Amino acid sequence: MANPDRPLRLGTRASPLALAQAHMVRDALIVAHGWSDEAVEIMPTVATGDRIQDRALAEVGGKALWTKELDAALLSGDIDFAVHSMKDVETERSSKLAIAAMLPRADVRDRLVGAASFDALPHGAAFGTSAPRRRAQVLRLRPDLRVILLRGNVQTRLSKLAGGEVDATLLASAGLERLGMHETGTCLPTHLLLPAPAQGAVGIETLSDNARVGSWLAAINHQATFACVMAERALLAGLSGDCRSPVAALAIMDGGKICLNAEIYSADGGQVERGTAEFIVGNAAPYELGIAMMARADSAIRAVFSS
């Protein structure tokens, strides 16, 4: 296929991981359509969430801190589509924007970095994370640990770990692999640490009414990943949660059905509510599961989601 009549502008955050993911999207489009390398131009921008390093994102509003600059660029026509780590995309999106495609999902697991296992950490060790989900899960496993705010991109967090600011941390296996850090940390099984909704998934968003770009992106959409991640996002909607909520969820395609496992926590991990559902693609079951889980959750869990 001939190149588009002008280079397509792909918006991305400027972090090393985000740029690696943008190159994955560009390469997938070039292969799918037989375009030259010049057909897609990568346009980095610094997101608000990347600028703020000294506070938990919940303290500064949380919502859209990873996406608002890219959203504005899409809506103004400065870019044609944007690449996102799907676990960072807020649950409610503008109707003018559409998640048009997702690449095949990578390893969904977390890796423990700084110790061989949770049992190997000394009593009262400093554990670094900024994610409410990871904080709750870590404290549930080891209530004696001191959880310390650890923000920044992968390289920044590894540097702080190496500098002794914390004794251990958790990082997404998918991000480490995309950065070529295949030997960093120890992968933890999902039955021990269920991942964040949409972890390991890269999504591409464009304007809802841009049928031309939407058709190009459809060619690289991995349907099983798309269906599973959208189910996890529907669960979040049912919980009235977002990427800052202490929620863990994993949907897996099994034949013609999706199997969804989910957990929600109190802030300290002392309380957990679990739920499962099995359904066909497009069913409302994930949303309904979220509502049901919240309805039966302990008050300490409900308090986190209402704050």
Q: Which residues are catalytic?
A: 88
Q: How many CB atoms lie within 10 A of CB 2?
A: 9
Q: What DSSP string runs through 201-270?
A: -EEEEEETT-HHHHHHHHTT--HHHHHHHHHHHHHHHHHT--TTS-EEEEEEEETTEEEEEEEEE-TTSS
Chain centroid to CA 181:
18
Interatomic CA distance for residues 32 and 24, integer angstroms: 12
User: What's 6's DSSP letter?
Assistant: S
- Sequence-distant (≥ 6) Cβ neighbours of residue 4 within 8 angstroms: 35, 39, 216
> Is the separation of the CB atoms in 90 and 64 below 8 Å?
yes
CB-count exposure of residue 23 (10 Å: 0-12, 13-18, 19+): middle
| Sign of torsion over alpha carbons 53, 58, 61, 63 | positive
First-to-last C-alpha distance (Å) of the chain? 51
